[in-house]
Amino acid sequence: MKRALACLLTSAILGAAGASLAADATPMAEDPAVEARLVVISEELRCLVCQNESLAASRAELAEDLRREVRKLIRDGKSDPEIRDYLVARYGDFVLYRPPVKPTTWLLWFGPFVLLVSALVGLIAYLRRRSAGLTPSALTAADKAAAEALLADPGADNPPKHNA
Amino acid sequence: MKRFLIPLAVFLVLVVFLAVGLKRDPREVPSPLVGKPAPEFRLDTLATPGKQFSPADMRGQVWLLNVWASWCVSCRAEHPLLVAFAKQGGLPIVGLNYKELRGDGEIDMKKVPAGEEPALVRQRAGAWLARHGDPYALSVLDMDGRVGIDYGVYGVPETYLIDKKGIIRFKQIGPITPEALEQKILPLARQLAGEAS
């Protein structure tokens, strides 16, 4: 009883707002299986109009047309790859959020790894060079003699500060 | 000195990449249809109800297929160029009137009685051409945008240059600019006109 009342109340509220909402609502397909597949497929596809939205999320008009088209293809019994190919044939690889690996997309797929590896190689080379520079170099005989002379005669040209 | 050269070189390469990236229009998606046969269709013409047109009718000619609609603001911007170009009589232009009613966000299609769409489309599109000039050899009506999908249309206006064999050779996305016409479309059209059909 309580639930029925809640339902009634909700539908009354929705009914009041419905006039404006109805115009925007896209017609739901009767078949939930088709809708489920539509969502799976179209989430992997890019909307051409608002390019950072998926075909599933976009409210652009073209996206609606394309969803309608995909629904039709699903009902025609087309497989997911066939539907993707259908859209790629018309709009290019750009519609795919996961572009195929082929020579023109190699840079896209492997570029970041190439960058990472070359940065690592550069870093290692730099660190090696730096640590090589830090190892104490052996003193020449002349250096050693000069150092010993200085140690033996502290007052000569470098008087200690606290000798008073 | 040398230790500054490497970061400087890396920075310059980055600047070049970013500069090129900034100049490119992200809305221009290369069409996979260039080099492929123009998709076949059969649609009613704007001028005569019942009379149909198909790209096959243009076999043996180099022609332009221009996608337009009266609600499309950029189409109006491009239109004077098309009208002037048509007057020179270089290439036949076929208009694909794309979703004249359904594409107009201000029209509630639920209020358009079934069966009246073609008449309303003809009235609106015809009035627009009467006002702004008609550069088209003929226009066809793609009321639901189905043909537009086959041609990969995603932002009107778009223009296809089609050769004598019916192969799409060039696609202009967005309005045709005088530069695009002079530097790309016309030279290519001249070259295509010399090819055997």
pLDDT tens digits for B94-150? Answer: 999 999 998 888 888 888 887 888 999 999 999 999 999 999 999 999 999 999 999
Q: Which of A45, A70, A91, A130 to mutate to test the interface with B (most CBs of B within 10 A)?
A: A91
pLDDT one-digit tens code per residue, B153-177: 988 899 999 999 999 999 999 999 9
Q: Which residue has the higher pLDDT, B59 or B27?
A: B59
Nearest CA-CA distance, residue B135 and chain A, Å: 27
Q: Give the side-chain half-sphere CA count within 13 A for B195.
A: 17
Residue A64 to residues A59, A61, A71, A141, Cα–Cα distance (Å): 7, 5, 10, 86
Structure tokens at B51: 């009379």
Residue B178 near residue B81, CB atoms below 8 Å: yes
Residue A157 has pLDDT above 70, yes or no: no
Beta pairing, strands B63-68 & B93-98:
parallel
CA distance, residue A139 to nearest chain B CA (Å):
27
Burial A25-46 (b: 16+ CB within 10 A, else e): eeeeeeeeeeeebbeebbeebb
Instruction: Answer whether B27 touches A (CB < 8 Å).
Output: yes
pLDDT for A33 equals 84
**Whole-number Å distance between alpha carbons of A19 and B155:** 30
Q: Give which of B94, B146, B100 is closest to B120, Cα–Cα.
A: B100
Please compute the mean of the pLDDT values over residues A88-103 and round it to a whole number. 88
Q: What's the mean per-residue pLDDT of chain B? A: 91
Distance (Å, rounded) from C-alpha B34 to C-alpha B169?
A: 5
Q: Computed from CA positions of residues A147, A152, A153, A155, in that sequence, does the dihedral angle turn out positive or negative?
A: positive
Residue of B nearest to A92 (CA): B32
pLDDT range class, residue A25, cuts 50, 70, 90 = very low
The shortest CB-CB distance from B103 to any of A48, A61, A89 is to A61
Confidence band of A132 (pLDDT split at 50, 70, 90): confident
Tokens of B49: 């109800």
Q: From residue B64, how far is each of A144, B60, B92, B99 by CA, in Å?
A: 88, 13, 6, 19
| Residue whose entry in the numeric block shows the structure tokens 């500069």 | B19
The per-residue pLDDT for B62 is 94
Q: Do the beta carbons of residue B197 and residue B99 sit within 8 Å? A: no
Instruction: Output the pLDDT for position A137.
Output: 65
Which contiguous run of DSSP H or E holds residue B140?
Answer: strand B138-142
d(CA A56, CA A63): 8
Compare CB distances from A91 to B105, B108, B152 and report the shortest one's residue: B152
Does the pTM surpass 0.80? The reply is no
Which of B29, B33, B147 to mutate against chain A (most A CBs within 10 Å)?
B29
Interface of B with A in 114-153 (CB under 8 A): 144-145, 149-152
Name the one residue in this structure whose structure tokens are 């998606």: B29
| B93: enclosing H helix or E strand | strand B93-98
Least CB–CB distance from A69: residue in B30, B33, B149: B149
